[in-house]
Amino acid sequence: MLLLISPDGVEEALDCAKAAEHLDIVDVKKPDEGSLGANFPWVIREIRDAVPADKPVSATVGDVPYKPGTVAQAALGAVVSGATYIKVGLYGCTTPEQGIAVMRAVVRAVKDHRPEALVVASGYADAHRIGCVNPLALPDIAARSGADAAMLDTAVKDGTRLFDHVPPDTCAEFVRRAHAAGLLAALAGSVRQTDLGRLTRIGTDIVGVRGAVCEGGDRNAGRIRPHLVAAFRSEMDRHAREHRAGVTTAS
C-alpha cells in the first residue's frame, strides 16, 4: 500500500520532504477550499521543486462542478505545473454519466500533455450528505473514462471517517470493482492508524491521509510532523508484514 500525504502548502511540503523516506506521494491541496480543494499552480511548482525528484507529486483539481470544460482546463493547469497524479473530486456530479463526462475531458487534457500522468477519479464516502454520485459508482466512472484510479475521501471534515460512511465490507467491494477494471484503488477520509489493518486486508493500493499525521490529529489547526509520518508508515509496514504472514489482528 502506498502512502499519500496531503500538505496544505510549501511549508508543510518541506516537512514532508524531511520524512520522504516514509511516504510515497506528496499530494498538493488547499484544505480551506474544500476536501479536495485546489491549490495555486505556483504552489504545485514550488512543492515539485521542494520534494525529492523520485517522489511523485499529486494535485487535487478541486471539489469540482459538473462542467467538463472548466475542469479539463484546471486539470491541465495541474499537470503543466508538475503534478503527475491528478485528482478530481466529482462533487457536483449527481449521476455516473455526469462523472464520466467530466473525467473523459480530464483524461484527454492530462494525457495529451503528459501521457504517463495518472488520473484519479474521486468520489465521496459521505456522498449522501452532499447529493453527489454513489461511492460504489466510482470504479465504473474511472474505467469508462480512461482514468487510472478510483478514490474515495470524505467531503465533510467534521470528525466522521471513511468507515463511518462506507463500512469496511463496502470498501472491500469498491477495491474489488476497481481491481476488476484494472484500476488502482485509493481510500481516504480521516483514516487513522487503527484503520490500517482493514485497509491492508482489503487490498487498498493507496491510503491518503492528512489529519493522522498532523499534531493532535487536527488537520486544520495542527501541522504535518515528520515523526508522525514515520510512525504512520511504521504501522503500515507492520500490517503489511502481518498480512503477508497470514496474521489477523483486531483492527
Ligand X SMILES: O=C[C@H](O)COP(=O)(O)O
What is the contact surface with ligand X in residues (CB under 6 A)?
A: 4, 6, 27, 153, 157, 188-191, 208-212, 219
Measure CA of the first residue to CA of the last residue in the chain; give whole Å: 16
DSSP for residue 126: T
CB 106 within 8 A of CB 72: yes
Phi, psi of 34 (to 5 degrees): 125, 170
Q: Which is nearer to ligand X, 27 or 140 (CB)?
A: 27
Q: Which is nearer to ligand X, 165 or 177 (CB)?
A: 165
Q: Which is nearer to ligand X, 198 or 210 (CB)?
A: 210
Work out how close the CB of 58 gets to ligand X at its nearest, in angstroms, rounded to a whole number.
8
| Residue from 85, 87, 31 nearest 64 by CA | 87
Q: Which helix (H) or strand (E) holds 96?
A: helix 96-113
The catalytic residues are: 29, 87
Q: Which is nearer to ligand X, 165 or 219 (CB)?
A: 219
Work out how close the CB of 244 gets to ligand X at its nearest, in angstroms, rounded to a whole number.
25
Q: Which is nearer to ligand X, 101 or 121 (CB)?
A: 121
Written as one letter, the residue type at 157 is K
Residues 6+ apart with CB under 8 A from 125: 135, 152, 153, 154, 162, 164, 165, 166, 189
Q: Is 146 left (phi over 0), alpha (psi -120 to 50) or beta?
A: left
Please give the residue whose beta carbon sits closest to ligand X in the complex: 208
Work out how close the CB of 205 gets to ligand X at its nearest, in angstroms, rounded to a whole number.
13
CB 162 within 8 A of CB 154: yes
Work out how close the CB of 140 gets to ligand X at its nearest, in angstroms, rounded to a whole number.
21
Work out how close the CB of 125 gets to ligand X at its nearest, in angstroms, rounded to a whole number.
10
Using the Cα atoms of residue 129, residue 135, residue 137 and residue 142 in order, give the sign of their dihedral.
Answer: positive
What is the number of other CB atoms lying within 10 angstroms of the CB of residue 207? 23
